[in-house]
Structure 1
C-alpha cells in the first residue's frame, strides 16, 4: 500500500505499562500530581524522517542514542485507519517524560520509517503485534503490544476527542522500556513478519 501524501507524525508517551511502572511515584509529584488522564503526544517533524535503509547521524558530542521500535497507525481519514507501518523513534537519552525536549527528539533523521504499509485486515490485530529489535544481528529487545495502556482503537478514539487527524497522518502506539542504546557503526533492524523489516545504520555526524 502506498500513500498519496505523508502528513504529520505523532509520537505517544507512557502508553506501555512498563513505562508507567518505571515512573512510579514521580507521576504523583508537582506539577502533574498524578498520571496523565489523556494521551501524551509529541511531533516528529519532517526533518526527522529517514527512509528504510537510510543512515541516521548521531550528533557530535553524543556517544549513543536510544532506539524506539514501534508501530504507527496510518490514517485514511479522521477516524479510519489505512494501515500500519514500522517506525524507529530515535532519541538522545534524557529524563523528561511529560515534555520531551525538542533538542533530544527532533534531530535531523531521528525517525526511521518503514516502506511497507499494511492494511489492518492484512496486518492483523495490533494487540498481538510483536516486534524484534536486532543490533548488528543480535536480538536486543522484543516489544509486545499486548502491554499497551491504550490499545490502538482506544488510543485513536481518545486522541480524536481533542484533535482531528487527517489523511496520511501517522500516530505511533508508543515505545516500551528497555530501549537499546546504539553508537555510530551500529545497524538496527526492527522486524515483524506482517510489516517487514525496517533497517537503519547509525553513523557519526559529519564535521
Structure 2
C-alpha cells in the first residue's frame, strides 16, 4: 500500500448537510468533481491500536467508511470496467478533528498520527456488491451511526473511474468512498468501532497524546 485517498461529500446525507454552504463564498456553487484528500502513512493503524488525541484537541469524529483496495494499476479506467480492478475491501475509521470547512482538503484535521485505523483486506469474492453494504459506528459499545453504501452519490465504480481519470492508483492503494453526516464524536478513554457487513470490524481506544498506551 502506497496511498490512501479519501473522498468528501459522497454520501447523500453529507452532501445535503453541506449543500447550503456550497453556494457561499469563496466557491458559490457545488463541486462537479470528487473532492479528495489523502491519509498518509503516519495515519495508518490496525484494529486494536490506540488512536491518539492530539494536544489541544478535545474530541474526534468516528469516520465509518469503506476502503476499496486496488488489485492492479488503475488509470483512466471506464466505469463499466472499474470493478475488475478491485482486489478487495477494508473497514476503515477515517478519524477527523471536527471542523466547519468544506470543499477544501482538511489536511490538518485528517492527517494526524493514528487517524486511519484499517481492518484486513477481504477479497471481492467474499463481499459481493460494494454498493449494498451496511456500515455502522459504535461508541463504547453503543450503536451511534447506521448507513448503507447504497446511499453513495458516486457508487464505487463511478468514483473509481472519476478519480483515475486524472490520477493513477497502484495495486494495494486504498480509495475511501466517503463518510456520512452525523458522525459520532469520541474523547480520550472512549472505545470506538466501525463495522461493515461482510467486510469486518475495526475497533480502537482513544487516548490523549502522552497518555499511557
Task: Check whether TM > 0.5.
Answer: yes
Q: Aligned residue for 2:70? A: 75
Q: How far apart, CA to CA, are the structure 1 residues paired with 2:89 and 2:28?
A: 34
Q: Are residues 1:113 and 2:118 paired? A: yes
Distance 1:25 1:121, change over 3 A: same
Q: Does 1:8 align with 2:3?
A: yes
1:88: which partner in 2?
A: 93
Structure 2 match to 1:97: 102
**1:146 aligns to what SS in structure 2?**
helix
Map 1:86-165; keep pairs closer than 5 Å. Answer: 86-115=91-120, 117-165=121-169
CA contact 2:87–2:124 (8 Å) conserved in 1:
yes
CA-CA distance at 1:156 after TM superposition = 0.4
Query: What is the alpha-carbon distance in structure 1 between the residues aligned to residue 105 and residue 206 of structure 2?
Result: 22
Deviation at 1:25, TM superposition (A): 2.5
Is the Cα–Cα contact under 8 Å of residues 67 and 175 in structure 2 kept in the other structure? yes
Q: What is the rounded CA distance, in whole Å, between the counterparts of 2:151 and 2:199 in structure 1? A: 19
Moved more, 99-108 or 152-161: 99-108
How many Å apart are 1:204 and its aligned residue? 0.8
Structure 1 residue 179: Cα displacement = 0.5
2:21 to 9, 17, 26: 26
Deviation at 1:182, TM superposition (A): 0.2
Answer whether contact 2:35 2:105 (CA < 8 A) is retained. Answer: no
Q: Give the number of equivalent residue pairs.
A: 201
Unaligned runs of 5+ residues in structure 1 are 1-5
Structure 2: 5+ residue stretches without partners? 78-84
TM-score computed with the length of structure 2 as normaliser: 0.90
- Secondary structure of the equivalent of 2:51? strand
The answer to whether the Cα contact below 8 Å between 2:66 and 2:196 also exists between their aligned partners in 1 is no
Instruction: Report the alpha carbon displacement of residue 33 of structure 1 after superposing the two structures with TM.
Output: 2.6
Question: SS of the counterpart of 1:126?
Answer: coil
In 1, the alpha carbon distance for the partners of 2:136 and 2:163 equals 27
Instruction: Please state whether the residue corresponding to 2:7 is helix, strand or coil.
Output: strand
Instruction: Give TM-score, length-normalised by structure 1.
Output: 0.93
Match of 2:12 among 10, 17, 34: 17
